[in-house]
Amino acid sequence: DAMVIQNPRYQVTQFGKPVTLSCSQTLNHNVMYWYQQKSSQAPKLLFHYYDKDFNNEADTPDNFQSRRPNTSFCFLDIRSPGLGDAAMYLCATSIGTSGSNEQFFGPGTRLTVL
Amino acid sequence: GQNIDQPTEMTATEGAIVQINCTYQTSGFNGLFWYQQHAGEAPTFLSYNVLDGLEEKGRFSSFLSRSKGYSYLLLKELQMKDSASYLCAVKNSNYQLIWGAGTKLIIKP
């Protein structure tokens, strides 16, 4: 089945220790997104790629970086995690960005910062 | 600013009908989405509305009024598995998806 896969599902890191979250897709979609979602809050878009074109949200901290080495994979790097970065990180894909193009989500990675 | 408003929490009874409302103020409009999100899981797509009116899909229906900046999601014949959060999201003129915080729906037997 075509899908969006995220690894790991659960990640524990220490304050200040870099961590990388990964996302892969078999949908062959052009667009990949990274969201941060805290409990009972709306998903917050961090950045997205349209093909290799990187789009950073204005309020995404510099502590968050992303890489998309090819169509299928996208990585989220958190350079120095703080306690406030503990959240669910959701990867999503869409075929494009126009009106009806829905986003397909992976199962998420829950990040705990000790 | 841009914002999406939804009730924080609703409770309904198994077998009943519930309507979850969403109002929005965005810079332009290119469609409204409803997603379902079970606790600890990713959102899954339920519906998309871009024209005024009602879209029916099985037990779920979604309504849109662009002039009022208003949508609702109607869930019929509620089942326990419908206990989840329901997120409303609007695509603005820049094709950015603006998300609401979601409505937590609790189903009681």
Mutate to test the interface with B, among A29, A105, A109, A111 (most CBs of B within 10 A): A105
Q: Does A43 touch chain B (CB under 8 A)?
A: yes
Computed over every residue of chain B, the mean pLDDT equals 95
Task: Tell if the CB–CB gap between B91 and A99 is shorter than 8 Å.
Answer: yes
Q: Does A90 touch chain B (CB under 8 A)?
A: yes
Count of positions (residues) in chain B: 109
pLDDT, tens digit (0-9, with 9 covering 90-100), for B17-34: 999 999 999 999 999 999
Task: Tell if the CB–CB gap between B42 and A105 is shorter than 8 Å.
Answer: yes
* b/e map B1-38, b = 16+ CB within 10 Å: eeebebeeebebeeeeebebebbbebeebbbbbbbbbe
Q: Does B92 touch chain A (CB under 8 A)?
A: no
> What percentage of residues in chain B have a pLDDT greater than 70?
100
- Region B27-56 average pLDDT: 94
pLDDT, tens digit (0-9, with 9 covering 90-100), for A32-76: 999 999 988 999 999 999 999 999 988 999 999 999 999 999 999
The token duo for A107 is 């199962």
How far apart are the CA of A35 and the nearest CA of chain B, in angstroms? Answer: 11
Contacts of A45 (CB under 8 A, 6+ apart): A33, A34, A35, A57, B96, B97
